[in-house]
Amino acid sequence: MADNVVIWTLDWVPMPDGPAGFVRDLRLRWACEEAGLSYEVRTIPFEGREANHLDRQPFGQVPYLDDGEIRMFESGACLLHLARKSEVLMPRDPVDEAQALQWTFAALNSVEMVSVPWWFLDMTGAQENGLTGWLESRLSHIDRVLSEREWLAADRFTVADLAMADVLRVGKVRSFGDRPATEAYLSRVTDRPAFKKAYSDQMAHFAAAEAKRAQAQG
Ligand SMILES: N[C@@H](CCC(=O)N[C@@H](CS)C(=O)NCC(=O)O)C(=O)O
């Protein structure tokens, strides 16, 4: 059993228009980078992903992680697990901790819960998918919050900002409407060295997979 955190992701995703740079293993890489935790990344095959790891992720998705005897799926749950290891991600003060928890769930359950079906339906060409007004409302509320504060909780970066920024930085969502406070927030968060490292590692991982695949296809 590995004594460091193992982050599982796909061995390949379609390039160049696929999700490289946005696969949710990035959240876990980023959290480990922020917290200074040692980790390794392992892969499962993209082909057959619907069925080839259901014992680890019951919906056939990634990411999931190993940490000693602990095996977990759902990026949010994995983030909170990692956040317990480092005050960088999760404040120890109970009031600040409650704020960070609250905003982490807001990212995943109030914003991503709307943004993912919105961009997915938009991508399929649905003209008015009924979610636009809902998303507009969520994004403008967040923009208002971000116009009044630099960080979501504890007056500093926490796991809540990691989750919220990862939800909001999706290209389609980011370019939908004009939200200066959100844009400034995203620049601030994605300028962090830990994000940059996680992002460039994920891009390198999928670029290498693409090159290997192209070579094999010859
Ligand atoms: N709620 C899950 C969502 C996981 C998810 O959507 N994973 C994507 C990659 S970012 C995936 O595995 N997609 C492949 C598929 O659904 O076939 C989480 O946050 O972990």
Determine the CATH number of domain 5-87+194-217: 3.40.30.10
Dist CA 140 CA 167 (whole Å): 14
For ligand 1, atom 6, the nearest C-alpha belongs to 61
pLDDT in tens, 53-63: 999 999 999 99
Instruction: Kindly report the average pLDDT of the chain as a whole number.
Output: 95
Rounding to the nearest 10 degrees, give the CA dihedral for residues 137, 163, 63, 197: 130
Confidence label for 112 from pLDDT (cuts 50, 70 and 90): very high
Between the CA of 24 and the centroid of ligand 1 the distance, in Å, is 7
- Mean pLDDT on 91-102: 98
Test site for ligand 1: of 61, 78, 79, 114, most ligand atoms within 8 A of the Cβ: 61
Radius of gyration of the chain (CA): 18
pLDDT in tens, 114-136: 999 999 888 887 767 778 898 99
Regarding beta strands 64-67 and 5-10, do their DSSP bridges make them parallel or antiparallel, or are they unpaired? antiparallel
**Fold match, 5-87+194-217 / 94-192:** no
CA 203 to mean position of chain CA atoms: 14
Rounding to the nearest 10 degrees, give the CA dihedral for residues 169, 175, 177, 179: 50
pLDDT in tens, 172-196: 999 999 999 999 999 999 999 999 9
Instruction: State residue 2's pLDDT score.
Output: 58
- Mean pLDDT on 165-173: 97
For 206, the token pair is 């999928």
Q: Where are the domains of the chain?
A: 5-87+194-217, 94-192
Which residue in 73, 63, 79 sits closest to 165, CA to CA? 79
Least confident window among 58-72, 110-124, 139-153: 110-124
Between the CA of 129 and the centroid of ligand 1 the distance, in Å, is 21
As a three-state string, the secondary structure of 19-74 is: CCCCCCHHHHHHHHHHHCCCEEEEEECCCCCCCCCCCCCCCCCCCEEEECCEEEEC
- Mean pLDDT on 80-88: 98
Work out the percent of the chain whose per-residue pLDDT is above 90.
Answer: 88
Instruction: State residue 1's pLDDT score.
Output: 52
Determine the CATH number of domain 94-192: 1.20.1050.10
Between the CA of 63 and the centroid of ligand 1 the distance, in Å, is 7
Cβ of 43 below 6 Å from ligand 1: no
- Mean pLDDT on 3-25: 95
Asked if residue 100 lies in contact with residue 90, where contact means CB atoms within 8 angstroms, the answer is yes
Test site for ligand 1: of 30, 62, 104, 199, most ligand atoms within 8 A of the Cβ: 62
For 130, the token pair is 């009924």
Instruction: State residue 107's pLDDT score.
Output: 98
